[in-house]
Amino acid sequence: MIYGASGGLMHSARHPSTTGDTGMNGPLDDGTVVTVGADGTIEVAGDIDMAAGPLLESTILEREAATEHLVIDLANVHFIDSSGLRVLLGASRRTGQRGGSVVLRGAGVEVTRLLEITGTTEQFVVEPSR
């Protein structure tokens, strides 16, 4: 865990395919960063793929312990694959079991198209912005 300049909690990890590292030890080589804002919003910048999925999942699990409703800001996500979708669906399932919800804020066409293709849009409250 790293605290950013704004005081928000920041998690980051190295991309194992390019560094030979499998741990969460610094910024991903592809630039993916997950932060938690002062209001509790999980903010993702970069790709949500096989390398960044575990980073996002650990942040989500930490936030789930503190709240029943999750807000995940995806405005700076330009790619998401099936492993990223799996992380988001897992969060939706767990929060739904507790009567909560997952809000995907700022979801761009890359995210909304994947949700539509997979028929999973209804699992979330989607707030598109781009």
Confidence tier at 129 by pLDDT (50, 70, 90): confident
Mean pLDDT of the chain: 83
Radius of gyration of the chain from Cα atoms? 14
Q: Which CATH architecture has domain 35-128?
A: 2-Layer Sandwich (3.30)
Higher-confidence residue of 90 and 10: namely: 90
Look at residue 8 and give its three-state secondary structure: coil
- Give the model's pLDDT for residue 130: 54
* Dihedral of the alpha carbons of 120, 122, 124, 126, in degrees to the nearest 10: 100
Residues 40, 66: contact at Cβ < 8 Å?
A: yes
- Residue 100 tokens read as 């909560």
Structural domain boundaries of the chain? 35-128
Q: What is the pTM of this model?
A: 0.78
What is the C-alpha separation between 47 and 80, in angstroms, rounded?
6
Cα-based angle 120, 124, 129 (whole degrees, multiple of 5): 105
Q: What is the largest CA-CA distance in the chain?
A: 40
CA atoms within 13 A on the CB side of 75: 11
